[in-house]
Amino acid sequence: MKVRDLHAQPLESQQQPSPDHHDLYRQTAAAIADDCWSIDPAWLLDRPEVYEQIKELDEQLTTMEHTGASEPAYRATLDRLVSCVHDARAAYEQEQEQAKERAWQ
Spell out the domain ranges in the chain.
Answer: 20-104
Per-residue pLDDT of 11-70, as tens digits, reads 444 445 457 888 999 999 999 999 999 999 999 999 999 999 999 999 999 999 999 999
> What's the distance, CA 40 to chain centroid?
19
Q: What is the number of other CB atoms lying within 10 angstroms of the CB of residue 96? A: 13
Distance CA 21, CA 27 (A): 10
* pTM of the predicted structure, to 2 decimals: 0.77
| Residues contacting 104, CB < 8 A, separation 6+ | none
Q: Is 68 left (phi over 0), alpha (psi -120 to 50) or beta?
A: left
Give the model's pLDDT for residue 22.
Answer: 86
Per-residue pLDDT of 72-96, as tens digits, reads 999 999 999 999 999 999 999 999 9
